[in-house]
Amino acid sequence: MNKGQSGSRQQETEVFCGIEVSQRELLVDCGGRQRGFANTAAGRRSLLQWLKNGGGVVRACLEATGQYGLDAALELDAAGVQLMVVNPRAVRHFAQALLRRSKTDPLDAAVLREFAARMEFRRWRRPSREELALVGMARRMQSLAEMITAEKNRLHAACLSTALPKIVRQQIERSIATMERSQKKLLEAAQQEIGADAGLARKYAQLQSVRGLGARSALALLAELLLLGEQCGARQWVAHAGLDPREYRSGQSVQKQVRISRAGNGRLRRALYMPALVAAHHDPHLGEFYRRLLSRGKSKMTALVAVMRKMLHAIYGMFRHGQDYEGSKLFASAAA
């Protein structure tokens, strides 16, 4: 490398940008420049061209806002823009630390730019096509499950009422049947996607070797865990799920009860809850671990959260070593 090339690389500046994502618009703040772009394919192409015209190495930051920001993140990453996707809670607390009293889209974009410039820049890991497909189908199935539960509650109330006409009950029953068929189709499509990849198929089978994990719950867990990548350890999995303990202590007088942080993926916690509940009552090893905690005076919810953490550690070990579930490695029961 000659001196001219070395000098040009040293002079290459970093440009930090904040991108506020909404349904219709991507509002970008790059220091002295601020501009809005339509959240469409054409608008995102214009955004990329605008960023390139500014020169320097672009480091962009946006919040994890679900589907509205996903296409923008994928296209920015594919174009070589260094991208950080952050937890909205972290950005909210950062804005409070800056004493921002107002909340508007231009101010939010400026806060995201400041966050990218001041905080440790952790580059976003682009999910693969298979990961995106599984996440989309698994999350849709979770949404359908929640809607089915709500409809079943309405049906129960409607069956107890003599004032409602029969057609109301019939419509609720048809709605439930339609959503259950949709769930079944999504599960079949997801299983076909998994079957086409030997690595995914192995992990999916390993998950179902855990007592309490069926086909649907295993799919929900697999989809969320795939997003973490292989660079994360077991403790990072627990923290990402928001199952890590959060202490609140100050001086001698302030000491609140230790709770889980919940600063993570709520979908992952929900996917773990029912399997942990089943395992606490039917798995001999996790069941004894659960009862041991109860005998020590722990509440049922505290003990169940501990089982959820144990299960997450077990799944991490299973994936890493390519083994099926073995409860004795988690907790050696007296019966065994």
Looking at the structure, do residues 99 and 144 belong to the same domain, yes or no? Answer: no
Integer Cα distance of 53 and 335 in angstroms: 69
Identify the pLDDT of residue 40.
93
Q: Is residue 212 a part of any domain in this protein?
A: no
C-alpha distances out from residue 163 to 153, 168, 172, 183, 197, Å:
17, 11, 16, 32, 53
* Per-residue pLDDT tens digits for 72-102: 999 999 998 999 999 888 899 899 999 988 8
Q: Is residue 213 a part of any domain in this protein?
A: no
Looking at the structure, do residues 59 and 94 belong to the same domain, yes or no? Answer: yes
CATH number at residue 107: 3.30.420.40
Select from 182, 167, 175 the least CA-distant residue to 151.
Answer: 175
Average pLDDT over residues 19-34: 90
Q: Is residue 201 a part of any domain in this protein?
A: no
Identify the pLDDT of residue 12.
66
Looking at the structure, do residues 87 and 139 belong to the same domain, yes or no? Answer: no
Looking at the structure, do residues 148 and 107 belong to the same domain, yes or no? Answer: no
Identify the pLDDT of residue 136.
93
Q: Is residue 175 a part of any domain in this protein?
A: yes
DSSP string, 162-201: SSS-HHHHHHHHHHHHHHHHHHHHHHHHHHHHHHT-HHHH
Looking at the structure, do residues 113 and 54 belong to the same domain, yes or no? Answer: yes
Counted domains in the chain: 3
> Percent of the chain scored above 70 by pLDDT?
90
Q: Is residue 81 a part of any domain in this protein?
A: yes
Looking at the structure, do residues 51 and 107 belong to the same domain, yes or no? Answer: yes
What confidence tier does 249 reach under pLDDT thresholds 50, 70, 90? low
Tell if the pTM clears 0.85, that is, is over it.
no
Looking at the structure, do residues 79 and 135 belong to the same domain, yes or no? Answer: no
Structural domain that includes position 185: 129-196
Domain boundary among the residues 85, 118, 151 is at 118
Does residue 336 have a pLDDT over 50?
no
Domain boundary among the residues 93, 118, 143 is at 118
Looking at the structure, do residues 51 and 135 belong to the same domain, yes or no? Answer: no
- Among 32-36, 165-169, 194-198, 199-203, which stretch is predicted with the lowest mean pLDDT? 32-36
Q: Is residue 202 a part of any domain in this protein?
A: no
Q: Is residue 4 a part of any domain in this protein?
A: no
* Per-residue pLDDT tens digits for 154-197: 999 999 988 989 999 999 999 999 999 999 999 999 999 999 99
Looking at the structure, do residues 82 and 39 belong to the same domain, yes or no? Answer: yes
* Per-residue pLDDT tens digits for 99-142: 988 889 899 999 999 999 999 999 998 888 889 999 999 999 99
Looking at the structure, do residues 81 and 62 belong to the same domain, yes or no? Answer: yes
Looking at the structure, do residues 19 and 112 belong to the same domain, yes or no? Answer: yes
Q: Is residue 92 a part of any domain in this protein?
A: yes
Name the average pLDDT for the chain.
Answer: 87
Identify the pLDDT of residue 2.
52
Report the alpha-carbon angle 82-84-88, nearest 5: 160
Helices 129-160 and 266-282 sit at what angle, rounded to 10 degrees?
70
Integer Cα distance of 85 and 83 in angstroms: 7
Task: Say which residues have a Cβ less than 8 Å from residue 175's Cβ, sequence separation at least 6.
Answer: 151
Identify the pLDDT of residue 9.
47
Looking at the structure, do residues 82 and 105 belong to the same domain, yes or no? Answer: yes
